[in-house]
Amino acid sequence: MSYVFDFGATESDKHLLGGKGAGLAEMTKLGLPVPPGFTISTEACRVMLSEGELPEQMWKEVDEAVARLEEKTGRTFGAGPVPLLLSVRSGAVFSMPGMMDTVLNLGCNEEVVRALEEWSGDAHFAWDVYRRFLQMYGDVVLGVPDRHFQAVLSELRGKRGVDSDADLTADDLRDAAGRFKALIREHADRPIPSDPREQLRGAIEAVFHSWNNRRAIDYRRIHGIPDDLGTACNVQMMVFGDLGDDSGTGVCFTRDPATGAPEPFGDYLPRAQGEDVVAGIRNTFSLDQLAELHPGPHAELLDIMRRLEQHYRDMLDIEFTIEKGVLYILQTRVGKRTAQSAVRLAVKMVEEGLIDRNEAIMRVDPDSIEQLHRPQIDTSADVAPVTTGVAASPGAAVGRVAFDADRAVEMAADGNGPVILVRPETTPDDIHGMAAAAGILTAQGGKTSHAAVVARGMGKPAVTGASGLVIDNSAKRALCGEHDIREGDMITIDGTNGTVYVGEVPLVEPEETPELAELLSWADEVRTIGIRANADTPEDARKARALGAEGIGLARTEHMFMGERLEIVQTIILTQDPEIRQDALDRLERQQVEDFEGILEAMDGLPVVVRLLDPPLHEFLPNRMELEHEILRRVWAGRSVADLQRMWSEVARWEEDNPMLGLRGVRLGLMFPELYRLQAGAAAQALVRRIRAGGDPHLEIMIPLVSTAPELERMREMVEEEIAAVAAEAGLELHVPIGTMIELPRAALTAGEIAKAADFFSFGTNDLTQMTYGLSRDDAEGVFLGDYLEQQILAFNPFQTLDTAGVGRLIRIGTEEGKAANPDLVVGVCGEHGGDPASIAFCMEVGLDYVSASPPRVEGARLAAAQAALSRGEAERRDV
């Protein structure tokens, strides 16, 4: 078995040659002007990882490959007349940009410099190449910090009175080379070898060892790349973009990576090596300017771009160099792109016949779709964030700071422009404020905190857990570094990347992307799982429908008990007068009928799953601590507290140490049947109104937090009684499927029993994850979930992506046994995971009928479902 492969001499196998090596091999085979070279395979790296050193045979093969290279190029490694210089670059299977090491201009020593000078007739070039080599090798292979070299260059530039290294003289550069060698002697434990073969050995070892440097390991952790893949190492003849005015180097994209426009796009820098382009020291030329400078190479480059696009059937990112008027291609890979560009490119390439629709579907990241509809920070604005938090909900927003929900509502209504709600963290009490605000900023919480989940559901930008943000609610003031932020001050937040700015930063409104609708229509054709939305209001329902939702998988009803209705609810809980109580119940019922009617109308013809009241009763009561403080205040002031005593005792009565595990959901429904009956009756009345209005309403009622079959059986009976009463009064037949959330492990484990009393199941994966892990999302996010993820105790955040081994196993058990017991059972998912692409793929595999996502994630879910269907089809075809 060989470790070393000349470019183009073998299959372009990415796993063996790495991404860069495979690209070079493929381009060589296509006959493109690639400087010759060879790839040392990832297998050599894996030997090093398992045995501690690179295989001996590899070095022999490297020597042979260098000899072939000398022959092929007519140049000599380490000597004149035309010296062969090499670039030595890493190249892993999955791109890890900038994480590993590179050595350029290798094969230099004093003798070679002289030969270079003679060959090029350019002393400046020759010594610049040498100092570049010394600097890079000293840093990368010998571990001398680059700042020492930079200090020397800086001193020389100062002496010479110039800004750029390019303006130093040949003498300056000779001087720099000498001082670099001295620096290396001083700081490294061995001198720089003058033998080019020894240089090459050091560089190859450094490249392979860099697989295990800290930042590469971290990068792999973050991106889920296995540690045992290893990297390849590419050794290639140097071509010089700094060899006079007819030389230069550049980077180009075959189409516009920002907008997806079908024109090539690139930067070119004359008299430069590649690193100078990246360093951004001088202004670059556009491709049009290149056409004027070098029409021949430019035309050739455009032609190559076309050929590569045809070959790879994708938008590509290409590195090229022009050496004395001759074009060389140094690297190509699939180009990174914005969400908008991804969508446009995919659709356009189908039109062009480059790819088919399925391929187009696979080309777009479903998570990115959401960004298409949100404003973004204008990247041309030169502003620095004052802090960074979690990118909780994408998009940017500018507005005046409000420190509580009520003020947010008032300020949003005052006609003075949008508001940003700033809170330590949010709770269900803040919903009206969040609805009124243009964006949400919190000091605590992560990507699945209340603020994040609700903001995503509302489609509003949010930054959570902003570090260093200290909020003093009572003083209506927040401190952030040296900034003292008061109510009404302008701030800007960017939920796409988690940044926070003081003042007004210009935003860019989203451009229309008409190609999206087409792409999604293709997705709808191939996907095999239904997509519904979680929506609690008529507005959200309409929005969701417009985004393609095929019904509502979860309409939460608790917010219908909040806001101005809270007083009615408190009356129901607190009064002892049956008449006052009944009056409050009646008022609430009338309002609920309208709530449901609006949602059913917005989703006419499609299913609407209404979940009955879920949260613990005490959430509708005042905070006990505040109440106690008020009582103490009055007591010490000698005032009466009688009126507060009763309130206090009710609050204390319903207080729970672990409300998540307490009196909520169906338990509340069984203990306070009037509330559930009210909701069921109101929903049935809304159904009647819609039928009479000539609509086609499809109401379904969902009972939350069931853990035993009898809970569902009794509640079903109660709900059916209410529906029957409404039906009898209206003289109509009402068909209302009744089902349950499966959100407790026991419900999944006994699904066979529970399914007998259910028309449908909906996995509430948020609670199911909490119970399965014994982990409160909100408590954990503030304290240790971050550490757990960082230390890889958790490989992923189970509140974002479904834990297939634990929670997923329960979903599988629940689905299989539920459907076995009741073949008509419809099964879906309505937790946060309903909008997560990886989780959607799992839901399909398990055989769920639909997923339900928050409205802004509906489009992404449609795409993700299509991708999962295509991947499954692919996998099945492979199995055949």
Question: In the complex, which residues of this chain contact its own copies (CB under 8 A)?
Answer: 624-625, 628-629, 632-633, 636, 656-663, 667, 670-671, 705, 707-708, 710-711, 714, 743-746, 749-750, 753, 767, 770-776, 778-780, 783-784, 787-788, 791-794, 803, 805-807, 809-810
Max CA-CA distance within the chain?
A: 107
Is 794 buried (19+), middle (13-18) or exposed (0-12) by CB count in 10 A? middle
| Helix runs in 256-338, H state only | 274-279, 287-293, 295-312
Specify the length of the chain in residues: 880
Cα(335)–Cα(363) distance, integer angstroms? 12
Q: Which is nearer to its own copies, 84 or 785 (CB)?
A: 785
Query: In the complex, what is the shortest distance from the CB of residue 752 to its own copies, in angstroms, rounded to a whole number?
Result: 9
Identify whether 450 is a catalytic site residue: yes
Q: Who contacts 16 (Cβ-Cβ below 8 Å, separation ≥6)? A: 5, 10, 41, 42, 43, 232
Beta bridge partners of residue 421, listed in sequence order: 402, 440
Q: CB-wise, 617 or 727, nearer to its own copies?
A: 617
Q: How far is the CB of 659 from its own copies (least distance, A)?
A: 7
Q: Which is nearer to its own copies, 12 or 707 (CB)?
A: 707
Strand partners for 532 = 852
User: Which residue, 79 or 660, is less far from its own copies as judged by CB?
Assistant: 660
Which residue, 221 or 872, is less far from its own copies as judged by CB?
221
Cα separation of 345 and 309, whole Å? 12
Q: Encoding tokens for residue 826?
A: 């419809």
Which tokens hold the place of 480? 């952030």
Nearest CA-CA partner of 112 in 72, 84, 146, 140: 84
Shortest approach of its own copies to residue 424 CB, angstroms? Answer: 11
**DSSP H or E segment with residue 829:** strand 826-829
- Residue 784 CB, shortest distance to its own copies, in Å, is 5
- Do β-strands 850-853 and 462-464 pair in parallel, antiparallel, or remain unpaired? unpaired
Strand, helix or coil at 608? strand
Distances (CA, A) of 164 to 130, 136, 145, 170, 635: 17, 18, 21, 14, 76
Looking at the Cβ atoms of 474 and 658, the one nearer to its own copies is 658
User: Residue 82, exposed/middle/buried by CB under 10 A (0-12, 13-18, 19+)?
Assistant: middle
Q: Alpha-carbon distance 696 to 603, whole Å?
A: 9
Shortest CA distance to 603 belongs to which of 657, 662, 539, 507? 539
Q: Can you tell me the distance from the alpha carbon of 748 to that of 556, in angstroms, rounded to the nearest whole number? A: 21
**Could you tell me the smallest distance in angstroms from the CB atom of residue 762 to its own copies?**
16
Q: Which is nearer to its own copies, 70 or 713 (CB)?
A: 713
Two tokens, residue 717: 């009976």
Is residue 511 within 8 Å of residue 375, measured between CB atoms? no
Whether 830 sits among the annotated catalytic residues: the reply is yes
Cβ at position 771, least distance to its own copies in Å: 5
Beta bridge partners of 401: 420
The one catalytic residue among 108, 233, 830, 843: 830
Q: Would you say 737 and 759 are in contact if contact means Cβ atoms under 8 Å apart?
A: yes
Q: Which is nearer to its own copies, 216 or 747 (CB)?
A: 747
For 114, 642, 645, the CA distances from 638, given in Å and listed in that order, are 98, 12, 15
In angstroms, what is the minimal distance from the CB of 552 to its own copies? 24
Strand partners, 88: 103, 235
For residue 477, give Cα distances in angstroms to 402, 488, 586, 595: 9, 10, 42, 37
- Choice between 290 and 747, CB closer to its own copies: 747
Nearest CA to 569 out of 427, 675, 682 is that of 675
Nearer to its own copies, 183 or 807 (CB): 807
Least distance from C-beta 707 to its own copies, angstroms? Answer: 5
In the chain, DSSP finds a helix count (H) and a strand count (E) of 34, 32
- For 728-745, the DSSP string reads HHHT------EEEEE-SH
Q: Which is nearer to its own copies, 1 or 637 (CB)?
A: 637
Closest approach, Cβ 662 to its own copies, in A, equals 4
Residue 583's identity, in one-letter code, is D
Query: Is the CB of residue 328 less than 8 Å from the CB of residue 321?
Result: yes
Shortest Å distance, C-beta 210 to its own copies? 27
How many Cβ atoms are within 10 Å of 744's Cβ, its own excluded? 23
Pairing of strands 439-442, 419-423: parallel
Per the listing, tokens 């303006």 go with 167
Identify the DSSP state of 560: G
Q: Please state the closest distance from residue 709 (CB atom) to its own copies, in A.
A: 9
- Considering beta carbons, is residue 662 or 737 the nearer one to its own copies? 662
Q: How far is the CB of 664 from its own copies (least distance, A)?
A: 9
Beta strands 102-106 and 86-92: pairing type? Answer: antiparallel
Task: Give the dihedral of Cα atoms 211, 216, 220, 226; nearest 10 deg.
Answer: 10
Q: Would you say 384 or 805 has its CB closer to its own copies?
A: 805
Sequence-distant (≥ 6) Cβ neighbours of residue 586 within 8 angstroms: none
Which of 298, 450, 618, 698 is flagged as catalytic? Answer: 450
Question: Three-class SS of residue 248?
Answer: strand
Minimum distance of its own copies from residue 630's CB (angstroms): 11
List the structure tokens of 486. Answer: 């008061």
Annotated catalytic sites, by residue?
450, 830
